[in-house]
Amino acid sequence: MGIMGMQRKIIFATGNADKMKEIRKILEDLPAEVMSMKEAGIDVEVEENGTTFEENAILKAKAVAKAAGTIVLADDSGLEIDRLGGEPGVYSARYMGEDTSYRIKNKNLIDRLEGVVKEERTARFVCAIAAVFPDGSVETATAAVEGYIGYEERGENGFGYDPIFYLWESDLSTAQLGMEEKNEISHRGKALKMIKEKLKDVLEA
Ligand code: ITT
């Protein structure tokens, strides 16, 4: 099935502007116009009541696809800290309340790991991407980047939990990486690259 002319449009079902910046960069070489929900003039509230990143990504993409008639993608992501039983996990955006600053959330997580040695501070960012096509079919891809929770916030780039998430190889936080460096190794970069292959097939058919 080929998607012609006007329909070479992909709507990304996210209200998170920082995610959207990373996504635009990763998908810039696709032969399609990638628009945010806002740019597409779509405003839907999605209740993210799934229990996994993948379920929530599908919920978001399907909710917007109903209103769109074009390819819709969504991202559900978060930080899993092993020592805290996988918290904040799928509740990453809602942890301590949606409106609480990341200064406070990040400090709280560091405080909860007080006295825990580096080897036991293991964590990962996980990202599930869902793609819903105009014929109703759904594709998903999930990826993670492994790291550890540092002892202090570092770096000014990125967003959310980036200042406390450190990479084993470099001991840099993901907030100390440039956006393109982060996209190379990140959960979001990896999951989107997998989906991109499927999108190319559909767009170039
Ligand atoms: P949408 O649902 O509208 O896309 P959201 O911010 O609510 O936006 P999620 O429900 O997927 O998105 O929550 C993801 C949260 O996980 C996000 O708000 C950050 O706190 C955290 N997170 C995800 N990816 C991250 C990254 O690359 N760097 C830092 N924090 C990240």
What backbone phi and psi angles, to 5 degrees, belong to 95? Answer: -55, 125
| Residue type at 163 in one-letter notation | P
List beta partners, residue 86.
none
Mutate to test the pocket of ligand 1, among 14, 43, 72, 92 (most ligand atoms within 8 A of CB): 92
Q: Which residues contact 172 (CB under 8 A, 6 or more apart)?
A: 154, 155, 166
Q: What was the pLDDT predicted at 79?
A: 98
| Cα-to-chain-centroid distance, residue 187 | 7
Q: What was the pLDDT predicted at 5?
A: 45
Mutate to test the pocket of ligand 1, among 11, 16, 76, 166 (most ligand atoms within 8 A of CB): 16
Q: What was the pLDDT predicted at 8?
A: 87
Q: What was the pLDDT predicted at 203?
A: 87
Per-residue pLDDT of the chain (205 residues; tens, 9 = 90+): 444 444 589 999 999 999 999 999 999 999 999 999 999 999 888 999 999 999 999 999 999 998 788 999 999 999 999 999 999 999 999 999 999 999 999 999 999 999 999 999 999 999 999 999 989 999 999 999 999 999 999 999 999 999 999 999 999 999 999 999 999 999 999 999 999 999 998 888 7
Q: Which helix (H) or strand (E) holds 61?
A: helix 53-68
Distance 125 CA to ligand 1 centre (A): 10
Distance 180 CA to ligand 1 centre (A): 18
Q: Which residues contact 122 (CB under 8 A, 6 or more apart)?
A: 81, 82, 83, 146, 147, 148
Q: What was the pLDDT predicted at 66?
A: 84
Report residues whose beta carbon is within 6 angstroms of any ligand 1 atom.
14-16, 19, 48, 60, 75-79, 92-93, 125, 158-162, 186, 188
CATH code, residues 9-203: 3.90.950.10
Q: What was the pLDDT predicted at 7?
A: 53
Token pair 């978001």: residue: 60
Distance 77 CA to ligand 1 centre (A): 5
Global pTM reads 0.95
Q: Is 169 left (phi over 0), alpha (psi -120 to 50) or beta?
A: alpha
Distance 116 CA to ligand 1 centre (A): 25
In the chain, where the domains are located: 9-203
Q: Are 3 and 202 in contact (CB under 8 A)?
A: yes
What CA–CA distances, in Å, run from 156 to 145, 153, 172, 173, 189? 19, 9, 12, 10, 19
Q: Which residue out of 18, 75, 76, 135 is catalytically annotated?
A: 76
Residue 117 burial (10 A CB sphere; 0-12, 13-18, 19+): exposed
Nearest CA to ligand 1 atom 13: 93
Active-site residue flag, 76: yes
Selection from 19, 1, 13, 11 nearest residue 189 by Cα: 19
- Token pair of 160, please? 């959310």
Token pair 């399609």: residue: 32
Quote the Cα angle for 130-81-53, to 5°: 15
